[in-house]
């Protein structure tokens, strides 16, 4: 992608709101027709562009097969909030799951930016939630772990087809409903692979 086009500039802003030290080398647009088909068949609202970090060893498999719930071939990264696909609205959070190839004392890594159909999220941190119980998909279609640091919501922009992109600088969460925070940053978990579509791949150091 051309670094000067609007999509690239928005993605760069999204990265630098939580990780200003990142040197972005390339941004690639991903087109997987089946992703669109499955995503829109879900007929869910609340679509967000969210980050997913990965080991470079898993990248070819992900680009070929998409993100899977608990794939046998992937490196395990934990499942505190249930066995699902984890994403975040802060690049800094997903950065912890990236590992790449070292060249000249620098590590080249890759990060996925995905469109996620969240539907109605069950919020962990606003009330007691039994994480051992599966979601009742008639009520909740995703799970959100509320973080202490959140993107300033007044700078969330709506892109094509109503997809939301949280571009605000990180601020401390002051919502009294979220008086218990399970993590530093927001995390979003979906348990159905058809709720997530790969949109962009960021190559960085």
What range does the domain containing 16 cover?
6-204
pLDDT recorded at residue 64: 94
Tens digit of pLDDT for each residue in 165-196?
A: 999 999 998 876 666 666 899 999 999 999 99
In a domain, 200, yes or no: yes
Q: Indicate the average pLDDT of the chain.
A: 88
* Burial class of residue 93 (count of CB atoms within 10 Å of its CB; 0-12, 13-18, 19+): buried
Catalytic positions are 187
Q: How many domains does the chain have?
A: 1
Residue 51 falls inside a structural domain: yes
What is the per-residue pLDDT across 28-49, written as a single tens digit (0 to 9) for each? Answer: 999 998 998 888 888 999 999 9
Residue 1 inside a domain? The answer is no
Q: What is the CATH number of the domain that holds 21?
A: 3.90.228.10
Q: Is residue 200's pLDDT more than 60?
A: yes
Q: What is the pLDDT of residue 101?
A: 66
Average pLDDT over residues 10-34: 95
Give the per-residue pLDDT at 161.
Answer: 87
Query: 2 by DSSP, 3-state: which?
Result: coil
The alpha carbon of 203 is separated from its chain's Cα centroid by a whole number of angstroms, namely 16
pLDDT band per the 50, 70, 90 thresholds, residue 19: very high
Query: Using 50, 70 and 90 to split pLDDT, how confident is the model at 9?
Result: very high
Q: Looking at the domain assignment, is residue 108 inside a domain?
A: yes
Buried b (16+ CB within 10 A) or exposed e, 119-157: bebbbbbbeebeeeeebeeeebbbbbbbbebbbeeeeee
Q: What is the pLDDT of residue 105?
A: 61
Q: Is residue 112 part of a domain?
A: yes
pLDDT band at 106 (very low <50, low <70, confident <90, very high): confident
DSSP per-residue codes, 86-145: EEES-HHHHHTT-B-EEETTEEEEEEEEEEEE--SEEEESSS---TTSPP-TTT-SEEEE
Quote the tokens at residue 150: 């959140």
- Other CB atoms closer than 10 Å to residue 21's CB: what's the count? 7
Whether pTM > 0.85 for this model: the answer is yes
The reported pLDDT for the residue numbered 136 is 86
Q: Tell which wins on pLDDT, 37 or 125.
A: 37
């Amino acid at each position: 992608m051309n670094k000067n086009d609007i999509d690239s500039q928005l993605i760069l802003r999204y990265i630098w709101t939580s990780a200003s030290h990142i040197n972005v080398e390339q941004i690639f647009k991903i087109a997987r027709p089946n992703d669109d088909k499955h995503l829109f068949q879900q007929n869910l609202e609340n679509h967000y562009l969210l980050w997913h970090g990965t080991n470079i060893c898993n990248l070819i498999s992900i680009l070929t097969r998409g993100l899977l719930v608990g794939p046998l071939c992937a490196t395990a990264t934990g499942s505190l909030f249930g066995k699902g696909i984890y994403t975040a609205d802060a690049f800094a959070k997903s950065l912890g799951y990236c590992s790449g190839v070292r060249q000249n004392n620098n590590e080249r890594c890759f990060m996925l930016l995905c469109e996620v159909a969240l539907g109605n999220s069950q919020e962990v941190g606003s009330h007691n939630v039994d994480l051992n119980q599966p979601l009742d998909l008639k009520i909740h279609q995703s799970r959100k772990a509320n973080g202490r640091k959140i993107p300033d919501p007044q700078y969330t922009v709506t892109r094509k087809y109503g997809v939301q992109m949280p571009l605000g600088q990180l601020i401390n969460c002051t919502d009294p409903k979220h008086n218990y925070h399970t993590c530093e940053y927001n995390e979003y978990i979906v348990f159905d692979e058809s709720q997530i579509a790969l949109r962009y791949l960021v190559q960085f150091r």
